[in-house]
Amino acid sequence: MDATFRLWRSEPGGAGALTDYKTPVSEGMVVLDAVHRIQAEQAPDLAVRWNCKAGKCGSCSAEINGKPRLMCMTRLSTLDLNKPVIVEPMKTFPLIKDLVTDVSWNFSVKKTIQKFKPRQPDAPDGTWRMAQKDIDRVQEHRKCIECFLCQDVCHVLRDHGKHDEFIGPRFLLYAAQLEMNPLDTADRLHDLKDKHNIGYCNITKCCTVVCPEHIKITDNAIIPLKERVVDRFYDPVTRLLRMFK
Amino acid sequence: MATHQTYNYDVLVIGAGGAGLRAAIEAANAGVTVGLICKSLLGKAHTVMAEGGMAAAMGHNDDRDNWKVHFADTMRGGQYVNNWRMAEIHAKEAPERVRELEAWGAVFDRTPDGRINQRNFGGHRYPRLAHVGDRTGLELIRTLQDHTVYLGVTVHMEHTVIQLLMDGGRASGVVAYDRERGRFHVFTAKAVILATGGVGRAYKITSNSWEGTGDGHALAFRAGAELIDMEFIQFHPTGMVWPPSVKGILVTEGVRGEGGVLKNSEGRRFMFDDIPDNYKPQTASDAEEGWRYVTGDKSARRPPELLTRDHVARCINREVKAGRGSPHGGVFLDIAWIKEKISDGEAHIKRKLPSMYHQFKELADLDITTTPMEVGPTTHYIMGGIKVDADSQMSSIPGLYAAGECASGINGANRLGGNSLSDLIVFGKRAGEYAAEYAKSSGPIKANDTEVDKAIKESLAPFDRGGRVENPYKVQEELQDTMQSLVGIVRLEDEMKEAHNRLQGYKERWTRVGVSGHREYNGGWHTAIDLLNLLNVAEAIALSAIERRESRGGHFREDYPDKVAEFGTFNIMVKQAPGGGIQVSRLPLPAMPAELRQVVEEQQQ
């Protein structure tokens, strides 16, 4: 059976167009397989970023039929192959070529978040003790594979282009796992409020919906952080108490 | 003269997986300037695929464990052709390296008393693998990556190195191009560390990503460095076999560590049928004892599913060949059965093996908590690589270091699961430390312009030939087929010679590969360049494998099915012959000191 894939192809000078490629498909294939086949047989200079092909590295992020997804984890059997499958690059980041975007902004954002700062070790041999139940949530957050699909879908970045003011769901999650790490002693709440503008997030939960690791980004990371910020800076009782301190 | 930009560092690290990042951290901490080049984005290296854990004799789950047991396990697993000094350093230093990760933010699974939890794994006598569910590699790379970004290391992402530069017999930097724009860059450095990972892409069925094209092996080889043990390739026993598009993707040994069993189409646990003599005293005599072992009973011995990977892979291969395989040419790996033994079995499986659950659910539409998986061997790891000094990790070229999978010595003929992640951090640290020291104490170097221009010109040749000649993807695919079928799990002299002949043909075709389009992010061009590295390592593998006329560890010869004592006294070494071609020789193993020999003997029981 053949299926048609409508891929974004760049042209020199910044223009581009969706281009149709027909290629044979078989049982169990994912979108990335089809893209690779097209690359090997019809479009050798096609640009596509990928690595592990098992949903663990977060390299092959794209928009498939308009939805932010990993190409390696999107099975063709879940798509209507009677229509062309549309594969486009992520729209929130500058395009480099074809399906590849410049995601370097994300790497520079991370540097603005205060790094992990552990408390003094608990034992004389320099080690710590932690209960599993105290780190379950942190481990959920640390499952993030940095595919940046949550950044892609976040309307604060995608529609409003607030890249200079807002760090996006990925890095709110990053800050959350540091804040919730039982060993960590740094305080990131002030930065979250004023520098990273956590207030811009109006919890539409789009990031949670697209997360390929099924991390509950909004409920388990962003909302708890918002609560901490509110408790610290806006709770009237706390404010009153602070005035008399 | 071609135009290019130049960067200068004291230490240049090639590769940003576990070893490269750990090396960069150590060098930066030593106060030298550090550049880090990686082929992908930062944090995407193949280390993220490591699942089960990192081996370190911390003794948290069984206080009988210590470095001596770990050392002896590693030597036994490697069939005693390991570099004993590397195995010793590794066993002694791994616990400290793991603890250090916790101080940098890694969040390992815990024991009931709050320490780092350790799990069972093949070939390890006691529970020894520090882990985070089944995504330990991701935890390792993210921890190192996040630690590195605050240290002032300059990271050059999506750059491919095409040539090592030499200055008077000493490494002096590299020529690279950035994949995004296709521009060339020259990096000069007083010390260069190769941490480029493996060669899995030389095979058709592999757990490795596109990056595993043996770049470090080949760059070092072409610069005149010595490689050893290239015949020893690890075929991981459990890769996915279905659907076809995911064939080869890894299924962690952690599944067996948690109680998963291997069965053939007759429902028989065939691993009980073939237990090697040197492992008999440590292996369970029946299923009941095996289950007691995985649930932490210290008096029980491990189930045969946890024998070394080379052996388990061959047993699976044998079952499939004998017609007792699963529908898609593998065997069955069943973890769902533990629900008979524990009440919250389903939740337990999801908690202990979350990414396996996810992987099968999404890629194969199969629920591992109810249905057995189909698995078969996949090319996973190369024990062989650049020959290095055990303490400093310097190669046979001054100023050139190697760490991690592209270096060789610690694993001998077969690597134990979990010893790779610990290898990365133990020897990555040492490479960074010694490279920084070398850079501080050595004089200035310069890039040789003629060499630079030549490298750039050669790498652009495929564009001159255009897209209507040899297709690089096609040649790569044929090379992978050849290596898979003729230099795979079971090897024969004639087949390997045939493979070697074919490789000469691919080499000739490589000089004719052409690509169309322009230099920006051009997949065809990237493949053409990686192909030369694959050709170099494939030939090194084939010739080394022909030379070793015995079976040992990852190297199994149907024509010489037994281990031969004489072959246990040397490593096979390859290096570039003057005027091209490959020189194969035998390098005697260094003698093990008496006290370590005694450790090995004490641990035999």
State pLDDT tens for residues B201-229: 999 999 998 899 999 999 999 999 999 99
pLDDT tens per residue across span A126-184: 999 999 999 999 999 999 999 999 999 999 999 999 999 999 999 999 999 999 999 99
Burial track B180-192 (b if 16+ CB lie within 10 A, e otherwise): bebebbbbbbbbb
Predicted confidence at residue B196, as pLDDT, reads 98
Find the catalytic residue in B119, B159, B256, B491. B256
Strands B373-382 and A95-97: unpaired
Residues 167-186 of chain A whose Cβ lies under 8 A from any Cβ of chain B: 177-178, 181, 183-184
Mean pLDDT for chain A? 95
Comparing CB atoms, the residue among B114, B115, B209 nearest residue A51 is: B209
Helix (H) or strand (E) holding B525: helix B523-547
pLDDT tens-digit map of B456-513 = 999 999 999 987 789 999 999 999 999 999 999 999 999 999 999 999 999 999 999 9
Q: Do A73 and B362 touch (CB under 8 A)?
A: yes
φ and ψ at residue A32, rounded to 5 degrees: -60, -35
**Average pLDDT of the residues in B3-29:** 96
C-alpha angle B436-B392-B566 in degrees, rounded to nearest 5 = 160
Q: Which two tokens stand for residue B327?
A: 């529908």
Question: A222: distance to nearest CA of chain B, Å?
Answer: 20
HSE, side-chain direction, 13 A CA sphere, residue B479? 33
pLDDT at residue number B1: 45
> How many angstroms away from the CA of A214 is the closest CA of chain B?
10
B372-389: average pLDDT: 97
**CB-closest option in A40, A56, A129 to B473:** A40
Task: Answer whether B49 sits within 8 Å of A54, measured CB to CB.
Answer: yes
- Tell whether A46 lies on the interface with B, counting CB pairs under 8 A: yes
- C-alpha to C-alpha distance for B325 and B263, rounded to whole angstroms: 9
Around Cβ B229, how many Cβ atoms within 10 Å?
30
Q: What is the pLDDT of residues A31-59, one digit of tens each?
A: 999 999 999 999 988 999 999 988 999 99
Strand order in the sheet with A61-64: A16-24, A2-10, A85-88, A61-64, A67-70
H/E segment holding residue B455: helix B449-465
> Tell me, what's the pLDDT at B265?
96
B236 catalytic per annotation: yes
* pLDDT recorded at residue B493: 97
- Best residue of A10, A39, A45 to probe chain B, by most B CBs closer than 10 Å: A45
- Is it the case that residue B534 has pLDDT exceeding 70? yes
User: What integer pLDDT is reported at residue B595 of this predicted model?
Assistant: 97
> Average pLDDT, whole number, for chain B?
95
Cβ separation of B245 and A107 shorter than 8 Å?
A: no
Minimal CA separation from A229 to chain B, in Å: 23
Which tens digit of pLDDT belongs to each residue from B283-330? 999 999 999 999 989 999 999 999 989 999 999 999 999 999 999 999
Determine how β-strand A85-88 pairs with β-strand A2-10: parallel
User: Which of B41, B354, B523 minimises the CB distance to A46?
Assistant: B523
Residue A123 has pLDDT above 80, yes or no: yes
Size of interface A-B (CB pairs under 8 A): 176
Q: Is A112 on the interface with B (CB under 8 A)?
A: no
d(C-alpha A163, C-alpha A148), whole Å: 13
Task: Please state the pTM of the whole predicted model.
Answer: 0.95
Neighbour count for residue A220 (Cβ, 10 Å):
17
pLDDT tens, residue by residue, B122-144: 899 999 999 999 899 999 999 99
Q: Do B209 and A57 count as a contact with CB atoms less than 8 A apart?
A: yes
